[in-house]
A = this chain, B = another copy of it.
Amino acid sequence: MSIIQAEHIMETHPEHARAPHDSKYANGSAFIQDHYCSVDEAGIPITDMGFLHADAAYDVVSVSRGHFFRLDDHIERFELSCEKFVLTNPYSRAETAEILTNMVKLVGVKDAYVWWCVTRGTNSNGDRSDLAGFQNKFYGFVIPYMYIAHDAERSRGFDVIVSKEFIRIPARSVDPTAKNLHWMDMKLSLGEALLSEKDWSVLTDEEGNLAEAPGANIFFIKNGEVYTPDSGCLEGITRKTTLELCAELGLPTHVEKVTADQLRDADEAFITSTAGGIMPINSVDDIVFGGTGGPGPLTATLHNLYWEKRWDGWLATPVDYDTPVNTESK
């Protein structure tokens, strides 16, 4: 089964055509604490602890064909992330949804990558240890939709490595279920993958249990059953979506401790992310799944079903591009 060329469709299909927008938002829009601006102008104050200490929670939701996907789920997860890090979103859930929607409208894109966060902010009394003394701040931006894996890469499948140099930051250090800015382990494992001429990496914990890939959850399929780690990873919305799609297809799923060895012994594998959906893996540590190149058949089915259902309006929230945004108000 061939992979839906989602990126090509987004670039060419009339339903994805960009709505009229102010040229200042050509590259994207942003919301900085209390006002909208272009992404090019958007700055984080250099003394905000969100920058100095990666002291923040964030989330990313996508828009395709002018509809958010699972917007409520993303906002719900974001609020839980904030709670785990003792952060308070200065905006209500409804206000957050409004800000995200307005940012999309300003850019006019029908396919959008929507990023937002709440940071610790700055502390007027200068006492770093007094977390309650900080005024938490909201920042966000919207840019045209971004792919971890492009059409060509999804069609042939990623070649990945299990990182030998790095383990994922453990939950007892930084809770991975609270979406956070602590990425250095993942970034450097990407460098390790590139050095061996591979596309992406997967990290384990120190005992070799699979954790997650940079910005993505890891899945594999063995004898028609689907496996993904139960811990040490973000509880991805695309991961949750994939488990639901598996149920719809009658594929048994196992959310449990799984090892890198099990991944290497699998029949198929893929990663999932808001930035790219379901992305097939071709090989891991030079072991080509199924012995032949390309996405496995169940992976391809899941991949295509994901885009078909999304474009069919599943769990979608429409963006009304016709009503103008008042950038003077919040």
Contact = CB atoms under 8 A, between A and B. Distances in A.
Interface of A: 30, 32, 39, 42-47, 49-55, 85-86, 115, 120, 126, 128-131, 139, 141, 143, 146, 148, 165-170, 172-174, 180-188, 190-191, 193-194, 199-200, 206, 214-215
Contacts of A85: 184, 188
Contact of A128 (B52, B143, B148, B181): B148
A187 B44 contact: no
Contacts of A180: 184
Given A86-B188, A169-B182, 13 more contacts: A32-B46, A43-B44, A43-B45, A43-B46, A53-B187, A54-B183, A55-B187, A130-B194, A131-B190, A168-B173, A169-B174, A181-B181, A182-B182
Closest 5 CB pairs of A and B: A43-B43, A53-B183, A54-B54, A42-B46, A173-B185
Nearest to A30: B46
Contacts of A32: 46
Contacts of A206: 170, 172
Contacts of A200: 129
Given A53-B183, A191-B86, A167 B172 contact: yes
A19 B86 CA distance: 40
Within the oligomer, what is the number of copies of this chain? 2
A56 to B, nearest CB: 9
23 contacts: A39-B46, A42-B45, A42-B47, A43-B43, A43-B44, A47-B143, A51-B51, A52-B115, A54-B54, A86-B188, A86-B191, A120-B187, A128-B190, A128-B215, A131-B191, A167-B173, A168-B173, A169-B169, A169-B173, A170-B206, A173-B173, A174-B182, A180-B184
Contact of A44 (B46, B126, B186): B46
Contact of A184 (B45, B47, B55, B170): B55
Contacts of A50: 51
A28 to B, nearest CB: 8
Given A128-B190, A146-B126, A191-B131, A174 B167 contact: no
A54 to B, nearest CB: 4
Contacts of A52: 115, 181, 183
A204 to B, nearest CB: 10
A127 to B, nearest CB: 9
A209 to B, nearest CB: 14
A202 to B, nearest CB: 13
A180 B120 CA distance: 17
B47 A190 contact: no
Contacts of A49: 187
